[in-house]
Amino acid sequence: MSRNRFQGTKINPTRFHRSQIKFVLFIMPVALFMVLPILYIFNHAFKPLDELFAFPPRFFVQRPTFGNFLDLFELAGSTGIPMSRYLFNSIVITFVVVVLSILVSSMSGYALSKLKFKMKKTFMTMNNIALMFVATSVIIPRYLIIERIGLIDTFWVHVLPGLAVPVGLFLIKQFIDQIPDELIDAAKIDGATHFQIYLKIIMPLVKPAIATIAIVSFQGIWNNTETSVLYINRESLKTFAFYMSTLTSTSNVVAGQGMAAAAALIMFLPNLIIFILLQSKVMNTMAHSGLK
């Protein structure tokens, strides 16, 4: 009797089913509450100056304007460097770091997972220990190392320190551990080199982990102001994140609020877009990162 009662009922129906109404009623208020900060960032960027300082504050913009963006793009810093230069620096640096960090993490993950060499476990232990430290706790030894190898006030000071992504290496190694050794051995018997195995077998099978590394690396570099503050003296090498942090710290604090709101939206949009595009693969990574 109970079998007939539940016959034909799916746990996860592909189409909308009335049994899903209770979940929708619970999820919708939570989703609306979580989307409020995003709506605020968009509305705030288009507010004229009087609405930015209105009391009580208004959530939605009444008279939207592009003036904040026009002021931001027309403004040059005290050194004469235009905003577009800072934005260009951020785009180039972020692109280079994301691509190289994916290569470094995936190649290292393949080596630590499938190759045999001395101190293999030691290197993995060192990477796991690195997960325990935040950037602030190693700021002094990092500065000493960067200064010793001559990276101060160069383009590469933005790039080289960002290639080390301990969490990315950990996740991608966990993914590669799940690939059967028999598949690698079969490729070797067919005459494939390690680079061919890495390129044609490993990379296609670890796309979710690569997407996670891309997001982590992108957010870390795109939002980074520490490098421009500590290691860069030339204004032409500084990033958009640093420029944004200076908009409201100048003498004209009131006028800078509108430009800061526009800059905040420009900073936020790439993070939102890349996460929307890759979020399904990130969820897959988190589901499998602890499995062997």
Residue 92: what pLDDT? 93
> What's the confidence (pLDDT) of residue 8?
47
Dist. CA 79–CA 17, nearest whole Å: 62
Provide the whole-model pTM. 0.78
Ramachandran bin of 173, using left for φ above 0, alpha for ψ from -120 to 50, beta for the remaining angles:
alpha
pLDDT bracket for residue 280 (50, 70, 90): low
- For the segment 13-69, what is each residue's pLDDT rounded down to a tens digit? 566 667 777 777 888 888 888 888 888 888 888 888 777 777 787 788 888 888 888
Residue 234 has pLDDT above 90, yes or no: no
Give pLDDT, residue 97: 92
Distance linking the first and last C-alpha atoms of the chain = 41
State how far the alpha carbon of 183 is from the alpha carbons of 119, 127, 256, in Å. 25, 27, 58
Mean pLDDT of 167-180: 86
Please give the domain boundaries of the chain with CATH numbers for all domains: 2-66 (no CATH), 70-288 (1.10.3720.10)
- Residue 225 clears pLDDT 60, i.e. is over it: yes
What does the block give as tokens for 6? 């539940």
On whether the CB atoms of residues 46 and 64 are closer than 8 A, the answer is yes
Calculate mean pLDDT across residues 157-177.
87
